[in-house]
Amino acid sequence: MSRPVRTPPTSVGARLLGILDVFSADTPLLTLSDISRRTGLALTTTHRLVGELTGWGALERDAEGRYRIGLRLWEIGSLAPRSVNIRDSALPFVEDLYSATHQHAQLAVLDGHEVVYLERISGRDAVKVSSRIGGRLPLHATGVGLVLLAHADPLLQEEVLHGPLTRYSPKTIAEPEQLRVTLAAVRRDGFAVSDGQIEPHVLSVAAPVHGAHDEVVAAVSVVVPADGAEPRLLIPVVRAAARGISRGLGAPSARHLPRSVRRERHAPGQAAG
What Rg, from alpha-carbon coordinates, does the chain have? 22
pLDDT for the residue numbered 216 = 96
- CB 145, CB 156: distance < 8 Å: no
Can you tell me the mean pLDDT for 40-68? 93
Q: 196-242 pLDDT, tens per residue?
A: 999 989 999 999 999 999 999 999 999 999 988 899 999 999 999 99
pLDDT score of 24 = 83
pLDDT at 135: 86
Rounded to 5°, angle at Cα 213 from 121 and 222: 20
Q: How far apart are CA 184 and CA 189, in angstroms?
A: 9
Please give the helix or strand (H or E) that residue 235 lies within, else none: helix 231-248
* Cβ within 8 Å of residue 113, ≥6 positions away: 138, 139, 156, 159, 160, 163
Q: What is the mean pLDDT of residues 101-129?
A: 91
Q: CA-CA distance, 225 to 200, in Å (whole number)?
A: 9
**Is residue 78 very low, low, confident or very high in pLDDT (cuts 50, 70, 90)?**
low
Q: State pTM to two decimals.
A: 0.73
- Quick: pLDDT tens for 7-41: 655 788 899 999 998 988 778 899 999 999 999 99
Tell me the per-residue pLDDT of 134-167, one tens digit each, with 9 for 90 and over.
888 999 999 999 999 999 999 999 999 998 999 9
Q: How do residues 240-264 score in pLDDT, each as one tens digit?
A: 999 999 999 999 988 765 554 444 4
Q: Give the per-residue pLDDT at 84.
A: 60
